[in-house]
Homo-oligomer: A and B are copies of this chain.
Amino acid sequence: MKWSKYFIPTMKVPPKDAETISHKLMFRAGLIQKLASGVYSYLPLGLKVLKNVENIVREEMNKAGGIELLLPALQPANLWKESGRWQKMGKDMITFIDRHGREMLFGPTHEEVIVNIVRQNINSWKQLPILLYQIQTKFRDEIRPRFGVIRAREFLMKDAYSFDIDENGLENSYQKMKETYGKIFTKCGLKFTIREADSGVIGGKFSEEFVAEGECAELEVGHIFKLGIEYSKKMNAVFVDKEGKEKPIVMGCYGIGISRIVASIIEGNNDKNGIIWPFTVSPFHILIVPVNLEENLIRNISEKIYLNLNEKFEVLMDDREESPGVKFSDADLIGIPLWIVVGKKIKNQKVEIKIRKENRFVEVDLENIEKWVFDFTNKIH
């Protein structure tokens, strides 16, 4: 991608309401833009990171045997009356009366919807266990939205639901998800701790939350619940066991805040100059910085490096007619892990590669760039 043909509106000054480093940097680096209180647009760089995190989550969920589906945001109130949560949710839930007078809501969570699907399609022990998940936008009318995408009114979540024949099965499913969550957060470059938590309006008998390390103390990036038979009993989700006896399905549920992970990664990976993306989630792997586009040699060689690397990596080339100062400070801000700086040393067939995380430059021969980058990426994987 050429910077001049892309859309990265970087800013010098963070918005007034930004309290956390991630909120400030997501805005300044052109990742998000505020539309209303707790409502954000993801600009191209921000969306790329969001998608990278989403794909890491999907890959690990599939490895754990999860089956992906997609549930609607719109839900009928009667399902929530069945589970008894219609009254419990309070003003956090966005509800409305549709044009035909029916009570509807925008889902802050999807236990009722998934139980409704399962009770209509699963009725035998032979169909269990099953682990269903989705990656989908959720809505919550937060009383005080803040910290940018960390406490927002519209956010992207992965929510998974396990269905087992008994408590042992639930224990297995729960432990597998706990392990999977560890892999996901580690792959995203997050350090985290796990602690026992309050199950709140989700319910159930036991839950643990994954808290990302960082300056921002706010909530969790993951939360896993042993729900047991709470929903199954209320909503009559039953199966016939090996002996022919009807029993309620034993359930667990497992949430990850995808958009929240993006902010948490920044909380844990930044310096005074900007973001330092882990390679796995970075919007681009490599940034090519020609220091002066008016010099033919610099321009041509930069173009050549770009074309070559672009086939193997996600590459951004800063082809703007800006001073090296502006280019370097924007480069620091948006945090691409490797920069290839094409400057005066190109006369001697050399470029400088900056490792953003270590804040140091390495001189590399033109002909060795590709090998150097491959070696670097192999080391960190």
Which A residues are closer than 8 A to B by beta carbons?
5-7, 9, 33, 35-37, 39-44, 46-47, 50, 65, 67-76, 91, 94-96, 98-100, 102, 104, 106, 113, 116-117, 120-121, 130, 132, 137, 139, 141, 143, 153-154
Of all chain B residues, which has the CB nearest A78? B36
**Residues of chain B lying within 8 A (CB to CB) of residue A137:** 73, 137
A-B contacts, 21 of them at CB < 8 A, read A6-B67, A7-B69, A7-B132, A9-B120, A35-B74, A35-B75, A36-B75, A39-B76, A41-B70, A41-B113, A41-B117, A42-B69, A42-B70, A42-B71, A43-B69, A47-B68, A47-B69, A50-B70, A73-B154, A94-B98, A99-B143
**Residues of chain B lying within 8 A (CB to CB) of residue A69:** 7, 41-44, 46-47
A40 touches B72 (CB 8 A): yes
* Cα distance, A43 to B68, chains bound together (Å): 8
* Cα distance, A25 to B40, chains bound together (Å): 38
* Cα distance, A153 to B73, chains bound together (Å): 10
Q: A73-B73, A94-B98 are in contact. List 5 more A-B contacts (CB 8 A).
A: A5-B65, A33-B117, A33-B121, A35-B72, A43-B117
**Residues of chain B lying within 8 A (CB to CB) of residue A71:** 35, 41-42
**Residues of chain B lying within 8 A (CB to CB) of residue A67:** 6-7, 44
* Cα distance, A44 to B68, chains bound together (Å): 6
**Residues of chain B lying within 8 A (CB to CB) of residue A100:** 37
**Residues of chain B lying within 8 A (CB to CB) of residue A106:** 106
**Residues of chain B lying within 8 A (CB to CB) of residue A33:** 117, 120-121
B117 touches A154 (CB 8 A): no
A132 to chain B, nearest CB (A): 7
A139 touches B74 (CB 8 A): yes
* Residue from the set A42, A69, A96, A98 with the largest chain B CB neighbour count within 10 Å: A69
* Cα distance, A76 to B34, chains bound together (Å): 11
* Cα distance, A102 to B132, chains bound together (Å): 36
